[in-house]
Amino acid sequence: MTACIDVAIKGSIAEVVLNRPRAYNAFDLDMMRRLTSALMRLAADDAVRGLLISANGSAFCAGGDLKWATGGEGTPAGAFHELAACFHLAILEIRRMPKPVAAAIDGVAAGGGFSLALACDFRIMAQSAVLRQAYTSSGLCLDGGGSFHLPRLVGLSRALEIAAFDRPITARRAEQWGLVTRIVPDGTARRQAFDLLEQLSRSAIHAFGRAKQLFTDAFHHSIETHLELERQALCACAEHPEGREGLAAFAEKRKPRFSSAPLKRA
């Protein structure tokens, strides 16, 4: 039986592949548990300096498997309750991971697949790919952090429009609305997302991780609290091997060599 989640590591970049193509990579509880486990393992691996989420088949991810949710012995609400709990752990791992995470979007990213993509730091989208929030068309509300990330990316008015009408979002429109990082020719999203992460892996990943944490938490704090968190993060970066290397390189008028520094926090 083919694994529904595949993991491959090339150099310092790990790739997590959604591998349930016959179901358009829709996730049931088993698949989501495997995805969450893989994300936890890779988040803790200091040798991994970037993470790519991609998919096999004609779709990135069609979201939660509604056939699974409605075909069990219990109620759909009970199935969603358990599935969402596991899905939320995966989203938190992506947002709290102190390393860049990129999604390579080929085909459709809908429902939970849409939310999964939005949780990533970067989204590389094939020019023929399509985004759909999809939840409301099935009488459901957004999940997987979709209602958290969407208004932060496109603004409240646009997020409400997407929730109300659920029109397919083309790559061109997604770029105009700030939903994706880059549009690329079909068949190249995976490679170009990998190349982006490989480029980032040679930069100061620890500093990126600190910035990512500050951005993620920025909407929850007062300016006074956030400024103090910035100061603490800045000092931690200065004490980290990457920070020391960057400062030394500046003083010595040379390019810093970040990729050799350990990823562990100071």
Q: Is the domain of 163 the same as that of 224?
A: no
Decide if 175 is inside a domain.
Answer: yes
Decide if 265 is inside a domain.
Answer: no
Q: Is the domain of 138 the same as that of 230?
A: no
Decide if 9 is inside a domain.
Answer: yes
Decide if 257 is inside a domain.
Answer: no
The pLDDT assigned to 71 comes to 81
Q: Is the domain of 17 the same as that of 46?
A: yes
The pLDDT assigned to 265 comes to 43
Structural domain span for residue 215: 205-252
**CA 75 – CA 3 distance, rounded (Å):** 27
Decide if 259 is inside a domain.
Answer: no
User: What are the average pLDDT values for consecutive 10-residue runs of the chain, which has 266 residues?
Assistant: 87 96 95 97 95 97 91 85 95 96 97 97 98 94 95 96 97 97 97 96 92 90 87 88 87 83 49
How many domains is the chain partitioned into structurally?
Answer: 2
CATH of the domain at 215: 1.10.12
Structure pTM?
0.90
The pLDDT assigned to 266 comes to 39
The pLDDT assigned to 69 comes to 87
Q: Is the domain of 30 the same as that of 130?
A: yes
Contacts of 186 (CB under 8 A, 6+ apart): 106, 126, 127, 128
Q: Is the domain of 33 the same as that of 124?
A: yes
Residue ending a domain, choose from 161, 178, 201: 201
